[in-house]
Structure 1
Amino acid sequence: MPPDSSTRSTVLIVDDTPENLTILGETLRPHYRVRAAISGERALHAVTIGALPDVILLDVMMPDMDGYQVLQALQADAATRDIPVIFVTAMDSVEGETHGLALGAVDYITKPFNPDIVLARVRTHIELAKARERLHDENAWLEREVARRTNENALIRDLSLSALACLAEVRDIETGHHILRTQSFVELLAHHLAGHPDYRAALAGERLEIIVRSAPLHDIGKVGIPDSILLKPGRLTSAEFEIMKKHPVIGADAITRAMAQAANSRSGDGALPGGAFAFMETAREIALSHHEKWDGSGYPAGLQGRQIPVSARLMALADVFDALSSRRVYKEPLAPEDVTRIIVAERGRHFDPVIVDAFLELRPAFAEVAQRFAEA
């Protein structure tokens, strides 16, 4: 029983000989919807009318515009290049067949026609085309599913990161939106410096995003500082400050242990995936080195200049800017011009000079972030 006409595939037959169109039409019409064109030019016009045909039977030897030219025109159009084209020819030439296949034809049928061969070839290529379409749809679905799960995993990671970072923030009643502000400051600086020759490699590809996402963990080590020091409503004594200065090492050690435990829990060689390792390693270097100073007078290791990781240099300025701009129980927030004056004075001492220069160009953006995440 022939298929219902509403579900039939469509075959376009192109031949400059009416008798051939009649023979092919009678062969195909019981099984397919058939459209016909008597020249190459009409074939290209017929393709644009209604739904695209599922396969085209294309005569090679036609006047004015031969089958090769029609095929090239079809291939040049993104809308039609995937339509299977079967050449129909009276020629028995290997060179001609090779040329047609090289141009993109999927098969050859020779005249005089054998109806069974015509039907078999047409059916085969329609089924192959539909299989490719199904595979394309399945691949597209898989890509969407992978993207959805990747986004979902990224959201879970970011939520976990925020929860972890907030452990330090919750214990320090003075910080408020410190994490949000400093992360935004780091992002502004990183994007501004991404094209700078001294920073291009450190901020290339995913590295910039990794630094920004790692920034909230910079003070995670404060969870190891006693409440009597962390929550002291006033300036710290020298002895208390020495204890406070341990928080970079505490944070870095915690991240290092987390990386080791994650690696040991994995099967096989125990290695962390590259992306996870890069993220945690960047978080570790920010936590450890964001209190280092350009002139080597910082802590905990007294690193100097380019010994300090770029991620930590960015965080150093972001952290100090926020501390100077924010209210503490022992001080009022400084005026923007005073904050700028102090940061400029520390150019080449506390801060990387290039990062200070970037900050000066970004002051309006810093002010906008400070206002957007201001304390309630």
Structure 2
Amino acid sequence: MFENVQQGPVDPMFDLKKLADNDTSPEKVDLGVGIYRNENGQYHEMEAIKEYESTTGNPQFLEYAAQIMFGEKCEALVSGQITSVQTISGTGANHLAALFLKRCSGSKANSVYLGTPTWGNYEPLCSLVGMDIVKYPYLDPESGTVNFDTLLEMVSQAPPQSVFILQACCHNPLGVDLTQSQWRKLANAMKEASVFPFFDIAYQGLGGSQEEDAYAIRLFTEMGFEMVVCQSFSKNFGLYGERCGVLHVVCSTATIAAKVYDQLRCLIRWEFASSPAYGSRLVNLIMESPRLRQLCELSLMRSRILDNRRELFRLLKHVPGDWNMILATKGLFCCLPLSLLQCEQLQSKHRIYLPGNGRINISGLNSTNIDRVASAIVDVL
């Protein structure tokens, strides 16, 4: 996919800044990048606000993000085959990945395969950059599990280098994930069909441990896939307002990875100039502190979500209908077997707000409202 990627066009200001930053001479005078400097010729960081980050993001943050995703001992990471850039959260990572792939000459098929239902942003952001969307049913409604045979069939029939968007864990909106056995079968099928994995992982650590939720990504990396991985820190680090994300691109060689990085640098420069500063610095503070890393808050969040699932199932299991999906799904979301009319009645009559497809955010339940929610669901049924 990436063997024909070339160095990005020269950015005189980027190169000038690098030269100036690396010049340690006391005689240096930097009149380049358009930021306000103080009387000492330094970046002027206001006492109340400290800001500004480089085009591709905070290097230490990117290193930590890659270790969280791929594991510190990942051979591809250690050898430099994975290039990473900071993005405007996970959504920005998805957009940047789609834009890059559309411009990549190795992507001949120009088709993106989406299992539906899925996150509502995939289709518009891929269409926005000119990709063609091919849809297939992701869910088997009879079993409430992944429609795996159809997925394998779509892979086998797809033209080489077609792109498949895959949610690595905690599927949005269904909460229905592939098993590890299915991931292995899918990886083999995709390798044989020469199709391209586009991973999105916005909820790492909320389904299982961070290692368990990254299983598919680490498996595909070990199998030598070229791929993109879109990572968000909104949910698992609570950085919603900081828009803190990363795009990782796994390449076949470190040389190609360097060229891909340069292309991504150009796209970021043209689109939003430089990466947000605060979110990445907060992640660094956590990762650098043994005390903060051992707080286990993510584990507590995951445990609470599971407790909510168990309690909601207990309250509804005697109601006519199949409620097993509450326990069988993972992460924040679950799609309840409710019609559009029933969802509207929950809102108008009971002041319970959820989308028309029955998708609920399990974490929105708590000890003060779960009984009322269950009673309201029984009422609209």
* TM-score above 0.5: no
TM-score range relative to shorter protein: under 0.3
Q: Which has the larger radius of gyration?
A: 1
**TM-score between both structures, scaled by the size of structure 1:** 0.22
* Higher relative helix content: 1
Higher RCO by CA contacts (8 Å cutoff, separation 6 or greater):
2
